[in-house]
Structure formats: structure tokens, C-alpha cells
Amino acid sequence: MADISTRKVNPLFLREEELRQGIELLFYAYRDFTAVADQMLEQYNFGRAHHRVIYFVSRNPGITVSDLLSILKITKQSLSRVLGQLVREGFIEQRTGLQDRRQRLLTLTEKGEALERELTEKQRALIAAAYREAGAESVEGFRKVMLGMLGEEDRKRFGDDGPTGLRQRAG
């Protein structure tokens, strides 16, 4: 890594190194972050997509299919396969929207809630440990940097417009 002399001579190298470390931190953290849930998902014959669906439905009870699609940014068909499984196996419940009866509002069943807790537990523990170790001030910095990487649309989700920034629907 850059020592002090390098720092004086070539400040651009440091910057480049700093950015590349950022790239790698993101890669390693995400790889491990998903890995801790993957083990458990296997036991249910589910994949990461199932986890994501369960997670975001848990976070946004009564979310519509199209809102879920806009979060996950996958195709309708891909969601359909995963969602269909989860509904058939009793993890997710669909109810017809009250204002708009074309919508299918998604919520977790008790069974789904239980699986969600189980799946996310290890991930939460991983983040909790990192937060604790780093301290409150670092956590604030972490949040700032991460938010800075998001597009306008996603940044909104972290405002005060509900957990994931979707207008909640009654159901």
C-alpha cells in the first residue's frame, strides 16, 4: 500500500487505490453477506431471489407486484416463478386490492414471517457486529457513502415515507 513518500509524490495513485479498495470492499461484503443466508435457503430449496421477495414483502406488507418488480429490477416472469412457489408453499398471501381490484397485495403468512426472521437473522447479526465494532460515528459515515451511491429513486426509500419509501396501501 501507499507509504508516506508515495503519498507526497503521487496523490493520484492514492486516490485510485482508495477507490479500488472501495470496489473490493463492496464485492467482499456483499459476497459474504449473501453467503450467510444461502446456506439456510438451500434447506428450503430456495435461492436468493426467494429471500429478496420475502424480505421486501416483509418490509412492505401489502406491496403490489409491480412495486416489488421496481425494487428488484428483474422481469415479471422471473418474479412470477419465485412468487408462485412462495404462495403455493404458504409463505406469502395474496389479497385483492381494495381501491384497485386488479392489484394483488402481498403479505407474509405467519410461516413466511418465521422464515424471514430466520433468514435475515444472520445478516442482521453480521451488520450489527460491524456497526458495534465501528461505532456510531462510523455508521453515520457508512450511511452517507452508501446513500451517495444510490440513484434518486432509491434514495427516497430511506426518507420518512415508509420503510422502503412506497406509499403503503390498505388491504
Partner DNA sequence: TTAATATGTCAATAAAACTGACTTAACGGA
Partner DNA sequence: TCCGTTAAGTCAGTTTTATTGACATATTAA
Interaction site with DNA (CB under 7 A): 45-50, 64-67, 74-78, 80-84, 94, 97, 99-104
R_g of the chain, CA atoms, integer Å: 20
Grid cell locating 80: 412470477
Where would I find the beta strands (DSSP E) of the chain? 92-96, 104-108
Longest dimension (CA), the chain: 68
In the block, cell 420518512 appears at 160
Phi-psi region of 59 (alpha: psi -120 to 50; beta: other; left: phi over 0): alpha
Q: Nearer Cβ to DNA, position 101 or 144?
A: 101
Q: Pick one of DNA, a copy of itself, none as the site partner of residue 75 (Cβ within 5 to 8 A by kind).
A: DNA
Q: Nearer Cβ to a copy of itself, position 15 or 111?
A: 15
We find the least distance from the C-beta atom of residue 4 to DNA, in angstroms, to be 34
Contact pattern for a copy of itself over residues 37 through 66, marking x by CB under 8 A: ---------------x--x---x-------
We find the least distance from the C-beta atom of residue 88 to a copy of itself, in angstroms, to be 25
